[in-house]
């Protein structure tokens, strides 16, 4: 078994700025060794430890879906020294990737159910992977109705405009985009995510809700869901924690007896309630 600490080497194929203030970029990476790409068997919701070797490593959720062949994508927000060096990288630069890591969204268990995807701001990256996977011709019939509710502070912050516009055109997915405050050129909904959830009122029957976003958004959105009958076991969350090894050895991402990097990052609300409030 290969040494899990040694990164696989990839090259930057493209860098796209995702938002107006240009602090969120999506890096598209292609593996230098074809067999390593083939072995990189991931499902939506998993993450990888990516690094500019020499600058540092950090855990980033995989934004591309396994159905998008050839490359993998990561959406990175510029926050500290390591993420800044990703932003400053050029096409052709070498990026180390260790992964896929984490448990990912439970794609098997989700089959046959309706999926309600609720995202806020920058946390939408693994949700992009999830929705693209489900919408793919190979998988679409395995899943029921899909509703996507995606909220942002303002229209400049909306990620993945190209795929969102594609989804809006389809009739097998209901996309509801919203921003916090009215803007001149914005024709879609206005309001906080929780308010939109209340309005859309997705039915809990045979459905799973997947929520990713800032803690307050999650809290308020979950409140609305619970009011209309959603149960804790059917609400899924993806946690973020400080991680270093990503493989459950360095110890720092523990919440009680669980490690976010191997037992998570996806946890149901029911599981989270049993864990100590240290995340």
Partner 1 sequence: MAEKLLKKDDIGKFYSELEKEYKFYAPTKVKGNIAFKKISNAEEIELDYLNSKVPPKDVLFPQKETIFEYRYEGKEVIIEERKDLEDKLIIFGVRPCDAYSFKLLEDFFASGDFQDDIFLKKRENATIIGIGCNSPRQSCFCTSVGGHPFQKESTDVFLSDLGDTYLVEAISEKGENLLKKLSWLADAKKADVEKSKELAKLAEESFTTKFDFDLVTKVLDENFEHPVWQEISESCIGCSSCTFLCPTCTCFDVIDENDEYNNRGRRIRIWDTCQSCLYTLETSGHNPRPAKIQRCRNRIMHKFSYYPSNYDCLGCVGCGRCITACPVNNELRLIIDKILEIQEKSGEKVSA
Q: Which stretch binds partner 1 (CB under 8 A): 23-31, 38-46, 202-210, 246-254?
A: 246-254
**Alpha carbon distance 28, 16 (integer Å):** 8
Beta strands in the chain (DSSP E): 8-17, 24-31, 47-52, 56-61, 72-77, 94-101, 114-120, 146-152, 174-179, 189-190, 207-212, 235-238, 254-255, 258-259, 266-268
Q: How many residues does the chain have?
A: 279
Residue 7 as a binder of partner 1 (CB under 8 A): the answer is yes
Query: Quick check: helix, strand or coil at residue 124?
Result: helix
CA-based nearest residue to 101, from 246, 260, 245: 246
Read off the tokens for 59.
């855990």
Binding partner 1 (rule: CB under 8 A), the pick from 19, 26, 46, 51 is 51
Q: By C-beta, is 72 or 245 nearer to partner 1?
A: 245
Binding partner 1 (rule: CB under 8 A), the pick from 223, 250, 270, 273 is 250
**Alpha carbon distance 42, 174 (integer Å):** 26
Residue 23 as a binder of partner 1 (CB under 8 A): the answer is no
Residue 34 as a binder of partner 1 (CB under 8 A): the answer is no
Q: How many residues bind partner 1 (CB under 8 A)?
A: 40
**Alpha carbon distance 74, 61 (integer Å):** 7
Residue 55 as a binder of partner 1 (CB under 8 A): the answer is yes
Residue 271 as a binder of partner 1 (CB under 8 A): the answer is no
Binding partner 1 (rule: CB under 8 A), the pick from 65, 126, 254, 268 is 254
Binding partner 1 (rule: CB under 8 A), the pick from 17, 20, 33, 53 is 53
Q: Which residues bind partner 1 (CB under 8 A)?
A: 1, 3-7, 9, 11, 51, 53-57, 79-80, 83, 92-94, 96, 240-242, 244-245, 247-252, 254-257, 262, 276, 278-279
């Amino acid at each position: 078994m290969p040494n899990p600490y040694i990164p696989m080497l990839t090259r930057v194929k493209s860098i796209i700025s995702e938002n107006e203030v240009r602090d969120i970029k999506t890096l598209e990476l292609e593996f230098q060794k074809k067999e390593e790409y083939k072995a990189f068997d991931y499902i939506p919701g998993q993450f990888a430890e990516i690094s500019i070797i020499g600058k540092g490593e950090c855990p980033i959720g995989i934004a591309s879906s396994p159905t998008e062949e050839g490359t993998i994508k990561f959406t990175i927000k510029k926050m500290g020294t390591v993420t800044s060096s990703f932003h400053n990288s050029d096409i052709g630069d070498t990026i180390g990737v260790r992964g896929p890591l984490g448990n990912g969204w439970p794609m098997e268990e989700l089959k046959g159910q309706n999926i309600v995807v609720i995202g806020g701001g920058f946390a939408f990256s693994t949700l992009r992977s999830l929705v693209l996977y489900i919408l793919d011709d190979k998988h679409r019939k395995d899943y029921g109705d899909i509703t996507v509710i995606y909220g942002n502070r303002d229209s400049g912050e909306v990620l993945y405009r190209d795929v969102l516009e594609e989804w809006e055109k389809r009739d097998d997915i209901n996309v509801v985009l919203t921003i916090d405050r009215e803007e001149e050129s914005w024709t879609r909904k206005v309001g906080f995510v929780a308010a939109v959830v209340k309005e859309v009122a997705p039915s809990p029957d045979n459905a799973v809700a997947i929520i990713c976003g800032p803690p307050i958004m999650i809290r308020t959105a979950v409140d609305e869901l619970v009011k209309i009958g959603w149960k804790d076991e059917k609400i899924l969350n993806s946690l973020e924690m400080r991680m270093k090894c990503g493989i459950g050895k360095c110890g720092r991402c523990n919440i009680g007896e669980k490690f976010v990097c191997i037992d998570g990052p996806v946890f149901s609300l029911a599981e989270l309630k049993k864990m100590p409030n240290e995340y």
